[in-house]
Structures are given as structure tokens and as C-alpha cells.
Amino acid sequence: MNILHWLIRAKGWARNPPSEGRVKLVFGVIAVCLLLAGWEWAFGFPDWLVPTRLDAKP
């Protein structure tokens, strides 16, 4: 990516920072994603959620 683009974007965030509610929302979404990833890592993916082909022969 273009570094100048990111610097201009950072300048805009410095002048008009996101609201407290937006920051809480972003951290909440990140926390939920980490919890789901941790759950899957610890307990695995449930078999009933794995898609199977209907025409597959056992």
C-alpha cells in the first residue's frame, strides 16, 4: 500500500478520533472473534457443522 495514503488517514484520525462507542464496538468484535478462535482451538470444530456431500457414498 501507499505509505502516503496511510499517513493522510492517520492525520484524519488524529484530528477527528473515533467515538468511545466505536472503539468499544471494534474491541468487542475483536474479543468475540478471539473467543471463537480459542474455543475452536481448545475443543475442535463440531462434527455436526461440517458440510457433507449428499451424493457421497460411504
What tens digit of pLDDT does each residue of 16-52 get?
999 999 999 999 999 999 999 999 999 988 788 888 7
DSSP per position, 4-53: HHHHHHHHHHHHSPPPHHHHHHHHHHHHHHHHHHHHHHHH---GGGS---
Domain ranges of the chain: 19-44
Q: Please check the confidence at residue 12 and state whether its pLDDT lies above 80.
A: yes
Residue 18's contacts (CB-CB under 8 Å, 6 or more residues apart) are 26
Q: Model's pTM, two decimal places?
A: 0.64
